[in-house]
Chain A
Amino acid sequence: MSHRILVPVKRVIDYAVKIRVAGGKIDTNVKHSMNPFDEIAIEEAVRLKEAKKATEVVTVTVGSTKSQETLRTALAMGADRALHVEVPESAEVQPLEVAKILKAIVAKESPSIVLLGKQAIDDDAGQTGQMLAGLLDWPQATFASKVELNDSALTVTREIDGGLETVKTTLPAILTADLRLNQPRYATLPNIMKAKKKTIEKLSPGDLGVDVTPRIKVLEVSEPPKRQAGKTVGSVDELIDKLKNEAGVI
């Protein structure tokens, strides 16, 4: 059975960068890289291909020209080809719009599985996979920490609040990758060079018939309050007094 896996990836501010807010906006003139959960998704898809469970890994991103470097990283990790849905750098594309674009890509590519990261570390929305499942009316297994693929079914262990849950879905299906699914590989130099020859197909949201106008408006962005030093108190009465009259929490 030939299975094609579609892995959407997102270019985000690198996880190690200290985020600064300047003039009500986040300073984006910093290092960017692939969303860590998307790296895990690519790694899982490539492993399935190497285990001969899947035949092709196709990666896609919705972003500006700069997102091309994210696609190249995915290709260097082992994806076979890439699709770049290009939008202007100033554009803000939100989860529902991304899900609609992915639905159009799914119609074009007919994958058996769409494997996404569980959330992006910039907006922490954690919605795209679920919305896509809804739009496509496909089963979904989210927060996956273990994936087994047979000819026609997926057995997935999910990390949930109470522990682990195992689900089985038919194909095609949506999967979202959680942290402990795998440890992504380093892109070796020969693979980085091979990635140069792999194709990146360019598309626009218009080509796919999707309107990417944002429907949610961000009202305010601010840094969390700076951590204050603690104070030692002499008695329980003093503690209650401070909680009531200084901190105003009781």
Chain B
Amino acid sequence: MSVPRFASLVSRSRAAAAPALRNAARSFSTTNAVRSAGSIPSLHTFTEEEVMLREAVAKFATEVVGPKVREMDENEMMDRSVIDGLFQQGLMGIETPAELNGSGTSFTAAILTVEELAKVDPSVSVMCDVQNTLVNTVFTKYANAEQKEKYLPKLATDTIGCFCLSEAGSGSDAFALQTKADKQGDYYILSGTKMWITNSYEAGIFLVFANVDPSKGYKGITCFIVEKDMGVEIAKKEKKLGIRASSTCALSFDDIKVPASNVLGQIGQGYKYAIEILNEGRIGIAAQMLGLAQGAFDLAVPYTFDRKQFGQAIGDFQGMQHQYAQIAVEIEAARLLTYNAARLKEQGKSFVKEAAMAKLYASQVAERAASKAVEWMGGVAFTRDLLVEKFYRDCKIGAIYEGTSNIQLQTIAKILKTQYAK
């Protein structure tokens, strides 16, 4: 009896087709599909302001920062004229709205600024990066109107800020922080120490994460806006392997009084703000590492076409060609990861995985590029006469701060699990 069999075949295939069609409909409604491929620009597409800004920053970096790089590194101190220059160029309040004395530009503009500065000096780049992607963003996202009006203009025009989370006993395990904040009337009394705080030597505004109720564990962590003259003490300025001009200090808060009105956001939500902000800050560090890699590459490769050994430019030996071609590929890959993460964030899409990937990879590429750059330039690169050895020292921090490489890998793995585990 073929008809019933045929009918059952048809109904079975229709049943099989139905879920597939249903899945197709569901996937079309959730993809980022656009009308036609011709309208999708490459990741090397920028707005007019972003292009102009990149060129202005590149010029500023070469002409104002460039001559001071070696001196700042030897003295382990940021030059005041460089700091003033960053403020005057409007580079310390890139996303801050114009009404609050900022430059009112995009997140990608900040990323491009950090990248261009890092090509010349990763120390200057990280100062600008922390200010924009950590400090300013915390205020913009979580502060109330009075706090924004009071602090954002200062941060955009003349005051450096810093992000105080890490302590001697809590780095990757940030929530194990011990700094306490005891409520007393209209004040909180802050006591504790912080370590490895970037910008802290020059800073006037400190975003301090302290626990108001240790019995609640990490759910007591609260973010406080602390001004220098409330009593912040620089316990120690670190002497470092790299980014020596960027100040990294241990801070101590010896029962200092902070007004309750300086609680930023909600009490006990500090842990959440820290995580969210660091997700964004990661893209900034990726940009810094990207600029570092490119800066080292741009120093070393032209040299290989000038330097002749055995009757030819060393850059023409196949062994060298393969090496710098490989590094160029990796820099481009790091660039695309970084720009893509920046654009995803700008568009309000989910970007945590992509940001972690960008920071992880860019810091690895920076190390490989800087290391190769020293090799390509040979003996003279090993002296402090050239800046290429500085890139090699500066790159190491990329795998450590704002989330170690192991933490990045874990972040990525956790997200992959949600995508792949049934």
Using a CB–CB cutoff of 8 Å, the interface residues on chain A facing chain B are 33, 69, 72-73, 76, 186-193, 195-196
Contact = CB atoms under 8 A, between A and B. Distances in A.
Interface stretch (B51-59, B76-84, B318-326): B51-59
Interface stretch (B28-36, B98-106, B387-395, B413-421): B98-106
11 contacts: A33-B55, A69-B48, A69-B51, A76-B52, A188-B56, A188-B89, A189-B90, A190-B102, A190-B104, A192-B49, A192-B56
B49 A196 contact: yes
Nearest to A77: B56
Interface in B85-139: 88-91, 94, 98, 102-105, 109
Interface string B306-337: 00000000000000000000000000000000
Contacts of A189: 53, 56, 89-91, 94, 103, 105, 109
B105 A193 contact: yes
A72 B48 contact: yes
B187 interface: no
Given A69-B48, A193-B49, A193-B98, A187 B103 contact: no
B110 to A, nearest CB: 10
B103 A190 contact: yes
A237 to B, nearest CB: 33
Contacts of A193: 49, 98, 103-105
Contacts of A33: 55
Interface string B38-67: 000000000011011101100110000000
Contacts of A191: 90
B88 A192 contact: no
Given A189-B94, A190-B98, A73 B52 contact: yes
Which of A76, A190, A195 lies at the interface centre, i.e. has the most chain B CB atoms within 10 A of its CB?
A190
Contacts of B60: 186
A16 to B, nearest CB: 10
Given A193-B103, A193-B105, A186 B48 contact: no
A69 to B, nearest CB: 7
Interface size grouping (class) on chain B: 20 to 34
Given A72-B48, A186-B60, A192 B53 contact: yes
Contacts of A73: 52
A186 B53 CA distance: 10
Nearest to B101: A190
Contacts of A188: 56, 88-90
Contacts of B52: 69, 72-73, 76, 187, 192, 195
Contacts of B53: 189, 192
A191 B88 CA distance: 11
Contacts of A186: 56, 59-60, 89
Among A33, A187, A191, A195, residue most surrounded by chain B Cβ atoms (within 10 Å): A187
B54 to A, nearest CB: 10
A183 to B, nearest CB: 10
A188 B105 CA distance: 12
A200 to B, nearest CB: 11
A76 B49 CA distance: 10
A33 B59 CA distance: 12
A187 B88 CA distance: 10
B345 to A, nearest CB: 19
Contacts of B49: 192-193, 196
A193 B90 CA distance: 10
Contact of B90 (A69, A190, A195): A190
Nearest to B56: A187
A193 B95 CA distance: 11
Nearest to A33: B55
Contacts of B105: 189, 192-193
Contacts of A190: 90, 98, 102-104
A187 B89 CA distance: 7
Nearest to B104: A193
A109 B185 CA distance: 67
Given A72-B48, A188-B89, A196-B49, 19 more contacts: A69-B51, A73-B52, A76-B52, A186-B60, A187-B56, A188-B88, A188-B90, A189-B89, A189-B90, A189-B94, A189-B105, A190-B90, A190-B98, A191-B90, A193-B49, A193-B98, A193-B103, A193-B104, A195-B52
Nearest to B47: A196
Contacts of A187: 52, 56
A30 to B, nearest CB: 14
A195 B98 CA distance: 13
Contacts of B91: 189
Nearest to A192: B52
Most central of A69, A188, A192 by chain B CB within 10 Å: A192
A67 B55 CA distance: 16
Interface in B284-324: none
B152 to A, nearest CB: 14
A72 B91 CA distance: 19
A189 B52 CA distance: 9
